[in-house]
């Protein structure tokens, strides 16, 4: 119980991943979906760092995690720019309303 | 194998992370969800400290908690007439989503716990130092590093173009 190992981190990351997925599919607010994506990416990062500590002992996992954080920031910036256009066009942020390609 | 302080801090920060993640899923209000996201990101950053990934923990706090979260809060403020506006999914959708997520969590846990890893779960290794990670970033991973800088430039231009005011 007190001996923390890889298994503990894997269970934690699986739970965070599932919660992120749940957030992505149950939120109808576009920003809420973006928050769910951030949770999923964080779950992947926890696994990468835990495997680096308990399995490989090399820095590769850390570097991949850095790139994931970078891409998550890029994705959030582009996503919010798209959502602002969405909001300007439809005057709502409810993703269920965005069901047409042209307005 | 590892000190009880490490075990206790793991449980505390894991509880913070999971509790805030549950808060994100349960909160109907998007401002509360964004606030809970701060708890999750902070908890994960502390877990990185527990895992001796100091550089990554600092990057997590600076880029995620300092940058991405601010961006999300700005997004919330710019895209709602009232920040308390809420749209809820139907009961059936929520039930189906909970069933799928629970099945996914259970199958991922059982798969990863039953897998035959090369080392036992509790075997601790020397963790890479910040200087080593920095050196790898500028030698072995130089090409991805440069590609990442190009991606950041593209994202900066693209976001500014997409969010420009209407003519």
**Model confidence over B84-104: pLDDT tens digits?**
666 778 888 899 999 999 999
Contact across the interface for B24 and A36, Cβ inside 8 Å: yes
Spell out which residues of chain B touch residue A50, defining contact as CB-CB under 8 Å: 51
This complex has an ipTM of: 0.91
Per-residue three-class SS string for B61-74: HHHHHHHHHHHHHH
Spell out which residues of chain B touch residue A38, defining contact as CB-CB under 8 Å: 37, 41, 64, 68, 72
Enter the tokens of residue A72: 């998550």
Q: Give the C-alpha separation, B118 to A9, whole Å.
A: 16
pTM of the model: 0.91
User: For A18-27, A57-66, A85-94, which range has the lowest pLDDT when averaged over its residues?
Assistant: A85-94
Spell out which residues of chain A touch residue B88, defining contact as CB-CB under 8 Å: 28
* Sites in chain B below the pLDDT cut of 50: none
**Model confidence over A16-41: pLDDT tens digits?**
999 999 999 998 888 999 999 999 99
Topology of the domain comprising B1-87: 1.20.120
Alpha helix segments (H runs only) across B82-139: 91-114, 130-138
Residue reference for tokens 């973006």: A34
Q: What is the mean pLDDT of residues A50-77?
A: 90
The class (CATH top level) of A6-91 is mainly alpha
- Percentage of residues of chain A with pLDDT beyond 90: 56
Render B21-58 in DSSP notation, one character per residue: HHHHHH-SSHHHHHHHHHHHHHHHHHHHHHTT-HHHHH
Residue B120 CA, distance from chain mean position: 26
Enter the tokens of residue B54: 């100091």
How far is B66 from chain A, CA to nearest CA, in Å? 11
Which 8-state DSSP code applies to residue A95? G
pLDDT at B65: 87
Q: What is the mean pLDDT of residues A43-54?
A: 92
Q: Give the C-alpha separation, B70 to A60, whole Å.
A: 29
List, in sequence order, every residue forming a beta bridge with A29; answer none if it has no partner.
A94
How far is A76 from chain B, CA to nearest CA, in Å? 7
């Amino acid at each position: 119980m007190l001996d923390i190992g890889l298994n503990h981190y894997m269970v934690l990351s699986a739970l965070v991943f599932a919660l992120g997925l749940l957030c992505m599919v149950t939120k109808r607010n576009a920003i809420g979906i973006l928050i769910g994506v951030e949770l999923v990416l964080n779950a992947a990062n926890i696994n990468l760092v835990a495997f680096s500590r308990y399995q490989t002992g090399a820095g590769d996992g850390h570097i991949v995690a850095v790139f994931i954080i970078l891409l998550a920031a890029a994705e959030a910036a582009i996503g919010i720019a798209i959502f602002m256009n969405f909001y300007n066009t439809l005057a709502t942020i409810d993703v269920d309303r965005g069901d047409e390609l042209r307005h | 194998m590892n000190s009880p302080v490490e075990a206790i801090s793991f449980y505390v920060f894991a509880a913070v992370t999971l509790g805030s993640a549950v808060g994100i899923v349960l909160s109907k209000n998007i401002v509360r969800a964004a606030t809970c996201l701060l708890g999750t990101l902070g908890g994960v950053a502390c877990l990185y400290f527990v895992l001796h990934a100091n550089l990554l923990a600092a990057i997590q706090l600076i880029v995620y908690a300092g940058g991405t979260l601010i961006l999300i809060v700005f997004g919330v403020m710019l895209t709602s007439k009232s920040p308390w506006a809420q749209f809820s999914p139907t009961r059936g959708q929520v039930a189906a989503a909970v069933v799928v997520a629970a099945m996914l969590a259970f199958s991922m846990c059982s798969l990863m716990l039953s897998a035959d890893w090369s080392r036992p779960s509790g075997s601790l290794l020397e963790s890479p130092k910040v200087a080593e990670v920095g050196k790898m970033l500028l030698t072995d991973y130089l090409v991805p590093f440069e590609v990442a800088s190009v991606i950041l430039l593209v994202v900066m231009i693209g976001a500014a173009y997409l969010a420009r005011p209407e003519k």
